[in-house]
Amino acid sequence: MCPAPVNDGDRRGYIIPIGGGEDKDVNPTILQRFVDLSGGSNADIVVLPTASKLEDTGERYEGVFSNLGAGNVSSIAISGREDCNNPEFAERCGNATGIFITGGNQLRLSSILGGTDVAQVIRRINARGVPIAGTSAGASIMSEHMMAGGEADQGPSEGGAVLAPGLGLTNAAIIDQHFSERNRLGRLLSAVALNPFLLGMGIDEDTGVFIGPESILDIVGSGTVTIVDGSDMSYSSAHSANRNQGLGMLGLKMDILHEGCRYDLNLREAFPPLEEDNNVCNL
Protein backbone atom coordinates (compact mmCIF):
# COMPACT_ATOMS: atom_id res chain seq x y z
CA MET A 1 0.00 0.00 0.00
CA CYS A 2 1.51 3.30 -1.13
CA PRO A 3 1.00 6.55 0.81
CA ALA A 4 -2.11 8.47 -0.23
CA PRO A 5 -1.48 10.81 -3.19
CA VAL A 6 -0.82 14.48 -2.51
CA ASN A 7 -3.12 16.88 -4.35
CA ASP A 8 -1.81 19.92 -6.21
CA GLY A 9 -1.04 22.75 -3.81
CA ASP A 10 -0.71 20.45 -0.76
CA ARG A 11 2.39 19.16 1.04
CA ARG A 12 2.46 15.86 2.86
CA GLY A 13 2.42 16.15 6.64
CA TYR A 14 5.17 14.91 8.91
CA ILE A 15 5.25 11.23 9.86
CA ILE A 16 6.70 10.85 13.35
CA PRO A 17 7.49 7.32 14.59
CA ILE A 18 8.72 7.29 18.20
CA GLY A 19 10.57 4.34 19.72
CA GLY A 20 8.44 4.27 22.89
CA GLY A 21 9.22 5.48 26.40
CA GLU A 22 9.30 9.12 25.32
CA ASP A 23 9.92 11.70 28.05
CA LYS A 24 6.57 13.24 28.97
CA ASP A 25 7.59 15.41 31.94
CA VAL A 26 11.20 16.56 32.37
CA ASN A 27 12.31 17.08 28.77
CA PRO A 28 9.35 16.32 26.48
CA THR A 29 11.13 17.60 23.36
CA ILE A 30 9.62 15.04 21.00
CA LEU A 31 6.02 15.54 22.09
CA GLN A 32 6.46 19.32 22.21
CA ARG A 33 7.63 19.39 18.61
CA PHE A 34 4.63 17.29 17.59
CA VAL A 35 2.30 19.75 19.33
CA ASP A 36 4.02 22.67 17.59
CA LEU A 37 3.72 20.98 14.18
CA SER A 38 0.05 20.37 14.92
CA GLY A 39 -0.60 24.07 15.49
CA GLY A 40 0.43 24.78 19.09
CA SER A 41 -2.29 26.75 20.84
CA ASN A 42 -4.46 26.27 17.74
CA ALA A 43 -3.86 22.52 17.58
CA ASP A 44 -6.74 20.08 17.52
CA ILE A 45 -5.14 16.73 18.38
CA VAL A 46 -6.85 13.34 18.32
CA VAL A 47 -5.33 10.54 20.40
CA LEU A 48 -5.97 6.94 19.31
CA PRO A 49 -5.25 4.59 22.27
CA THR A 50 -6.50 1.50 20.41
CA ALA A 51 -3.28 -0.50 20.77
CA SER A 52 -3.40 -0.26 24.56
CA LYS A 53 -5.65 -2.23 26.89
CA LEU A 54 -5.11 0.29 29.71
CA GLU A 55 -8.24 2.34 30.20
CA ASP A 56 -6.42 5.55 31.10
CA THR A 57 -3.96 5.68 28.17
CA GLY A 58 -5.96 8.17 26.13
CA GLU A 59 -6.67 10.36 29.15
CA ARG A 60 -2.98 10.46 30.12
CA TYR A 61 -1.96 11.72 26.68
CA GLU A 62 -4.78 14.26 26.72
CA GLY A 63 -3.19 15.71 29.85
CA VAL A 64 0.33 15.61 28.43
CA PHE A 65 -0.56 17.45 25.22
CA SER A 66 -2.74 19.98 27.06
CA ASN A 67 0.17 20.75 29.40
CA LEU A 68 2.39 21.27 26.35
CA GLY A 69 0.06 23.99 25.07
CA ALA A 70 -2.20 22.18 22.58
CA GLY A 71 -5.44 24.09 22.09
CA ASN A 72 -7.74 21.07 22.00
CA VAL A 73 -7.02 17.39 22.67
CA SER A 74 -9.42 14.46 22.73
CA SER A 75 -9.04 10.70 22.62
CA ILE A 76 -11.32 8.34 20.73
CA ALA A 77 -12.16 5.06 22.42
CA ILE A 78 -11.87 2.73 19.43
CA SER A 79 -12.02 -0.86 20.64
CA GLY A 80 -13.38 -2.70 17.58
CA ARG A 81 -13.63 -2.46 13.82
CA GLU A 82 -17.20 -1.21 14.02
CA ASP A 83 -15.89 1.85 15.87
CA CYS A 84 -13.45 2.54 13.02
CA ASN A 85 -16.34 2.74 10.58
CA ASN A 86 -18.35 5.09 12.81
CA PRO A 87 -18.91 8.27 10.72
CA GLU A 88 -18.61 10.43 13.84
CA PHE A 89 -15.15 9.06 14.64
CA ALA A 90 -14.01 9.36 11.03
CA GLU A 91 -15.21 12.96 10.90
CA ARG A 92 -13.44 13.75 14.19
CA CYS A 93 -10.16 12.44 12.76
CA GLY A 94 -10.76 14.28 9.50
CA ASN A 95 -10.98 17.61 11.35
CA ALA A 96 -7.84 17.05 13.41
CA THR A 97 -4.62 19.03 12.95
CA GLY A 98 -2.59 16.18 14.46
CA ILE A 99 -3.12 12.46 15.14
CA PHE A 100 -1.25 10.58 17.88
CA ILE A 101 -1.32 6.75 17.99
CA THR A 102 -0.30 5.29 21.35
CA GLY A 103 1.68 2.19 22.15
CA GLY A 104 0.46 -1.27 23.05
CA ASN A 105 0.08 -4.25 20.71
CA GLN A 106 0.57 -3.48 17.03
CA LEU A 107 -1.36 -6.55 15.88
CA ARG A 108 -4.33 -5.41 17.96
CA LEU A 109 -3.96 -2.01 16.35
CA SER A 110 -3.65 -3.26 12.77
CA SER A 111 -6.43 -5.85 13.06
CA ILE A 112 -8.85 -3.22 14.40
CA LEU A 113 -7.77 -0.24 12.31
CA GLY A 114 -6.61 -1.75 9.02
CA GLY A 115 -8.74 -1.00 5.97
CA THR A 116 -11.40 0.96 7.87
CA ASP A 117 -12.83 4.43 7.31
CA VAL A 118 -10.71 5.88 10.11
CA ALA A 119 -7.53 4.40 8.57
CA GLN A 120 -8.38 5.91 5.19
CA VAL A 121 -9.08 9.29 6.76
CA ILE A 122 -5.69 9.22 8.52
CA ARG A 123 -3.94 8.51 5.22
CA ARG A 124 -5.83 11.30 3.42
CA ILE A 125 -5.27 14.00 6.03
CA ASN A 126 -1.56 13.18 6.17
CA ALA A 127 -1.42 13.68 2.39
CA ARG A 128 -2.87 17.15 2.83
CA GLY A 129 -0.42 18.20 5.55
CA VAL A 130 -1.56 16.85 8.93
CA PRO A 131 1.25 15.33 11.07
CA ILE A 132 0.75 11.75 12.25
CA ALA A 133 2.78 10.60 15.27
CA GLY A 134 2.89 7.21 16.94
CA THR A 135 4.87 5.67 19.75
CA SER A 136 5.96 2.03 20.09
CA ALA A 137 3.20 0.01 18.39
CA GLY A 138 1.92 3.28 16.96
CA ALA A 139 5.30 3.75 15.28
CA SER A 140 5.46 0.29 13.74
CA ILE A 141 2.04 0.53 12.10
CA MET A 142 3.04 3.60 10.08
CA SER A 143 4.94 1.57 7.50
CA GLU A 144 3.44 -0.44 4.67
CA HIS A 145 5.19 -3.59 5.90
CA MET A 146 4.67 -3.59 9.67
CA MET A 147 7.03 -5.33 12.06
CA ALA A 148 4.58 -7.55 13.94
CA GLY A 149 6.99 -9.72 15.93
CA GLY A 150 10.13 -11.81 15.94
CA GLU A 151 12.86 -13.02 18.23
CA ALA A 152 15.10 -10.57 20.10
CA ASP A 153 18.54 -11.28 21.53
CA GLN A 154 19.69 -13.27 18.52
CA GLY A 155 21.15 -12.73 15.07
CA PRO A 156 19.21 -12.67 11.81
CA SER A 157 17.50 -15.96 11.02
CA GLU A 158 14.92 -17.50 8.75
CA GLY A 159 11.60 -16.69 10.39
CA GLY A 160 13.29 -14.16 12.66
CA ALA A 161 10.85 -11.40 11.71
CA VAL A 162 7.08 -11.51 11.47
CA LEU A 163 5.55 -8.94 9.12
CA ALA A 164 1.96 -7.78 8.66
CA PRO A 165 0.26 -4.98 6.70
CA GLY A 166 0.50 -1.51 8.23
CA LEU A 167 -1.13 1.84 7.49
CA GLY A 168 1.18 2.58 4.57
CA LEU A 169 1.98 6.16 5.59
CA THR A 170 5.46 5.32 4.32
CA ASN A 171 6.55 2.52 2.00
CA ALA A 172 10.25 3.37 2.30
CA ALA A 173 11.09 1.58 5.54
CA ILE A 174 10.23 -1.16 8.00
CA ILE A 175 10.04 0.43 11.45
CA ASP A 176 10.96 -1.29 14.72
CA GLN A 177 10.87 0.26 18.18
CA HIS A 178 12.32 -0.16 21.71
CA PHE A 179 15.25 -1.07 19.51
CA SER A 180 18.48 -1.03 21.53
CA GLU A 181 16.69 -1.61 24.82
CA ARG A 182 15.23 -4.91 23.60
CA ASN A 183 18.14 -5.91 21.35
CA ARG A 184 16.07 -6.11 18.15
CA LEU A 185 18.82 -5.73 15.56
CA GLY A 186 18.58 -9.41 14.57
CA ARG A 187 14.90 -9.25 13.74
CA LEU A 188 15.32 -6.02 11.78
CA LEU A 189 18.10 -7.64 9.75
CA SER A 190 15.81 -10.64 9.19
CA ALA A 191 13.16 -8.31 7.78
CA VAL A 192 15.66 -6.55 5.50
CA ALA A 193 16.87 -9.94 4.22
CA LEU A 194 13.33 -10.58 3.00
CA ASN A 195 12.82 -7.03 1.69
CA PRO A 196 16.22 -5.65 0.62
CA PHE A 197 14.58 -2.83 -1.33
CA LEU A 198 13.26 -1.43 1.97
CA LEU A 199 15.25 0.34 4.66
CA GLY A 200 15.25 -1.09 8.15
CA MET A 201 14.67 1.63 10.76
CA GLY A 202 15.23 0.72 14.42
CA ILE A 203 14.26 3.46 16.87
CA ASP A 204 15.42 3.57 20.49
CA GLU A 205 13.23 4.66 23.37
CA ASP A 206 12.79 8.41 23.95
CA THR A 207 13.75 8.97 20.31
CA GLY A 208 11.59 10.34 17.53
CA VAL A 209 12.09 10.34 13.76
CA PHE A 210 10.54 13.38 12.07
CA ILE A 211 10.02 12.46 8.42
CA GLY A 212 9.25 15.62 6.46
CA PRO A 213 7.35 16.13 3.20
CA GLU A 214 10.57 15.93 1.16
CA SER A 215 11.44 12.53 2.71
CA ILE A 216 14.22 14.07 4.81
CA LEU A 217 14.15 12.78 8.36
CA ASP A 218 15.78 14.25 11.43
CA ILE A 219 16.31 12.75 14.86
CA VAL A 220 15.08 14.16 18.17
CA GLY A 221 15.60 12.61 21.60
CA SER A 222 18.13 10.90 23.83
CA GLY A 223 18.66 7.64 21.93
CA THR A 224 19.71 6.63 18.45
CA VAL A 225 18.14 5.41 15.22
CA THR A 226 19.71 2.51 13.31
CA ILE A 227 19.24 2.54 9.54
CA VAL A 228 19.97 -0.69 7.66
CA ASP A 229 20.19 -0.41 3.87
CA GLY A 230 20.14 -3.69 1.97
CA SER A 231 19.71 -2.23 -1.52
CA ASP A 232 23.32 -3.04 -2.51
CA MET A 233 23.37 -6.40 -0.75
CA SER A 234 25.39 -8.79 -2.88
CA TYR A 235 24.24 -11.99 -1.20
CA SER A 236 21.50 -13.24 1.12
CA SER A 237 20.74 -16.81 2.15
CA ALA A 238 17.12 -15.94 3.00
CA HIS A 239 15.79 -17.92 0.04
CA SER A 240 17.53 -21.17 0.98
CA ALA A 241 17.76 -21.13 4.78
CA ASN A 242 15.95 -23.71 6.88
CA ARG A 243 13.57 -22.65 9.62
CA ASN A 244 15.39 -20.74 12.40
CA GLN A 245 18.73 -21.10 10.57
CA GLY A 246 21.06 -18.10 10.77
CA LEU A 247 21.17 -15.90 7.67
CA GLY A 248 24.19 -14.79 5.66
CA MET A 249 23.95 -11.20 4.39
CA LEU A 250 26.79 -9.52 2.48
CA GLY A 251 27.11 -5.91 1.39
CA LEU A 252 24.81 -4.28 3.94
CA LYS A 253 25.15 -0.61 4.83
CA MET A 254 24.34 0.63 8.32
CA ASP A 255 24.10 4.16 9.79
CA ILE A 256 23.59 5.07 13.44
CA LEU A 257 21.96 8.47 13.86
CA HIS A 258 21.74 10.55 17.05
CA GLU A 259 19.88 13.78 17.77
CA GLY A 260 20.46 16.36 15.05
CA CYS A 261 21.47 13.84 12.39
CA ARG A 262 19.46 13.73 9.17
CA TYR A 263 18.78 11.09 6.56
CA ASP A 264 17.55 11.43 2.98
CA LEU A 265 15.21 8.53 2.23
CA ASN A 266 15.43 9.16 -1.50
CA LEU A 267 19.22 9.34 -1.70
CA ARG A 268 19.68 6.81 1.11
CA GLU A 269 22.35 9.04 2.57
CA ALA A 270 23.00 10.14 6.15
CA PHE A 271 24.20 13.58 7.26
CA PRO A 272 25.70 14.81 10.55
CA PRO A 273 24.14 17.64 12.57
CA LEU A 274 24.23 21.00 10.77
CA GLU A 275 26.89 22.51 13.02
CA GLU A 276 29.20 19.59 12.18
CA ASP A 277 28.54 20.19 8.49
CA ASN A 278 29.64 23.78 8.98
CA ASN A 279 32.78 22.77 10.87
CA VAL A 280 33.79 20.46 8.02
CA CYS A 281 33.26 23.25 5.50
CA ASN A 282 35.43 25.62 7.54
CA LEU A 283 38.44 23.31 7.74
Instruction: Give residue-wise pLDDT tens across range 95-113.
Output: 999 999 999 999 999 999 9
* CB 226, CB 188: distance < 8 Å: yes
Question: Model pTM?
Answer: 0.94
Q: Where would I find the H helices in 195-282?
A: 274-281
Measuring CA to CA, how many Å separate 248 from each of 56, 58, 148, 201?
Answer: 45, 43, 22, 20
Measuring CA to CA, how many Å separate 157 from each of 175, 178, 192?
Answer: 18, 20, 11
Confidence of residue 282 (pLDDT cuts 50, 70, 90): very low
Every domain of the chain and the residues it spans:
15-281
Distance between CA atoms of 66 and 214, rounded to whole angstroms? 29
Identified catalytic residue from 38, 75, 136, 180: 136
Measuring CA to CA, how many Å separate 69 from each of 43, 59, 93?
Answer: 9, 16, 20
Name the CATH superfamily for 15-281: Class I glutamine amidotransferase (GATase) domain (3.40.50.880)
Sign of the alpha-carbon dihedral angle for 89, 78, 76, 31: negative
pLDDT tens digits, residue range 220-244?
999 999 999 999 999 999 999 999 8
Distance between CA atoms of 260 and 45, rounded to whole angstroms? 26
Active site residue 66: no
Q: What is the pLDDT of residue 279?
A: 52
Active site residue 239: no
Measuring CA to CA, how many Å separate 143 from each of 18, 107, 229?
Answer: 13, 13, 16
- In the predicted structure, residue 1 carries a pLDDT above the cut 70: no
3-class DSSP assignment, residue 91: helix
* CB 1, CB 165: distance < 8 Å: yes
Confidence of residue 2 (pLDDT cuts 50, 70, 90): confident
pLDDT tens digits, residue range 124-152?
999 999 999 999 999 999 999 999 999 88
3-class DSSP assignment, residue 65: helix
3-class DSSP assignment, residue 96: coil
- In the predicted structure, residue 26 carries a pLDDT above the cut 50: yes
Per-residue pLDDT, averaged over 71-84, amounts to 93
> Which residues are 249's β-sheet partners?
236
Measuring CA to CA, how many Å separate 163 from each of 46, 141, 145, 202, 256?
Answer: 27, 11, 6, 15, 23
Residues whose CB is less than 8 angstroms from the CB of residue 128 and which lie 6 or more positions away in sequence, other chains included: 6, 7, 10, 13
Distance between CA atoms of 213 and 193, rounded to whole angstroms? 28
Q: Where would I find the H helices in 73-168?
A: 81-84, 87-94, 106-113, 117-127, 137-140
* CB 35, CB 151: distance < 8 Å: no
Q: Which of 249, 216, 251 is nearest to 232 (CA)?
A: 251
Identified catalytic residue from 22, 144, 151, 205: 205
Distance between CA atoms of 82 and 87, rounded to whole angstroms? 10
Identified catalytic residue from 110, 143, 145, 178: 178
Active site residue 136: yes
